[in-house]
Structure 1
Amino acid sequence: MSSMVVTRPRPLPVSSEIDDWASGICSCCNDKADCCLAFWCCPCFACKTTRTYGQCLCLPLLDIFGCIPPVTMSMRLSMRQRYGIKGSMCTDCVCATCCSPCVWCQMSREMKYRQLP
């Protein structure tokens, strides 16, 4: 007779404090290696960042099919909610639409700043 082992996922930490982003959206010089990868191959960088955040590796590839990148916008919104960062959905939409590589770089820097495991 075999027994089934069930493991429950750990809850994600959510901050209740209101904070700002650790770096600005155009602070790419803070991490030049990530900035270069995001500039030359944004889909690869977005997939790498998404995997580090704990989501499906290929999720950012869905952004290719729309004019407003839904995955970039939702990842930014999720990160703002998880870390208690000030902002709005409108700002997330504008940033994701106008400068997607900068948004991915900013999210990567934020995870490094917050030391996401």
Structure 2
Amino acid sequence: MYPPNPDKRHDAPTPYTQPPATGVPVSSTTQYPSNYPPPPPAAPVAWSTGLCDCCSDVQNCCITCWCPCITFGQIAEIVDRGSTSCGASGALYGLIAFISGCACIYSCFYRSKLREQYLLEESPCGDCCVHCCCESCALCQEYRELQNRGYNMTLGWNGNVQQQNRGVVAMTPTAPTYEPGMRR
């Protein structure tokens, strides 16, 4: 389309610039050339509380100790952004715990999802190891992390969304106004 520029090296990566206008519609997403370096990954951040900081929320600690399916269900609903309900996730957790005696196999995947969503570091060890060695502490830490990020765990996903949107008035579409002085 354009003759090569003899002053420019073709093997060196160049910053992305807008391609010349061709009159042909293209997608609105930004397409980077293959030689353009990808953005650097964000550094993981530390958890807001430690794994064994259960003393800060004794009520949740007791619920998790006696019935971890409730805490897991609340966590799963928030992490899945409402696509699964608290009851369904908690029931599945309880069923896996009843059948296999090892529900940590299921819950460690939600710890991984939570870490990916909030760029949390994998500490003190791998997600499955944390859940296999100390299931209750891991669930309590995840619960506290979501609470510290502003979620009211008793409301669930939809309740948190409604609470966040309270006071925001939806704009209703209206017809454009006609100015009588305008003529063609």
TM-score greater than 0.5 by the shorter chain: yes
Q: CA deviation at 1:47?
A: 1.7
Q: How many residue pairs were aligned? A: 102
Structure 1: 5+ residue runs without aligned partners? 1-15
Deviation string, structure 1 residues 21-52 (Cα, Å, up to 9, x no partner): 11111100111111111112112222233234
Identity across matched positions, percent = 28
Q: Are 1:107 and 2:142 counterparts?
A: yes
- Aligned to 2:126, the other structure's residue is in SS state helix
| Corresponding residue for residue 82 of structure 1 | 117
RMSD of equivalent CA atoms: 2.3
Report the 3-state secondary structure (helix = DSSP H, G, I; strand = E; otherwise coil) of the residue aligned with 1:29: helix
Contact 1:22-1:113 at 8 Å conserved across structures: yes
Q: Do residues 71 (structure 1) and 97 (structure 2) align?
A: no
Q: Which has the higher contact order (CA 8 A, sep 6+)?
A: 1
1:19 counterpart = 2:17: no
Distance 1:18 1:42 in 2: 27
> Which structure: larger Rg?
2
TM-score between the two structures when normalised by the length of structure 2: 0.49
Partner Cα distance (2:103, 2:75) in 1: 19
1:77 Cα offset (Å): 0.4
Q: Which residue of 1 aligns with 2:58?
A: 32
CA separation in 2, counterparts of 1:70 and 1:17? 27
Q: What's the offset of the Cα at 1:69?
A: 2.0
Cα distance in 2 between the residues matched to 1:115 and 1:45: 17
Q: Which has the higher helix share?
A: 1
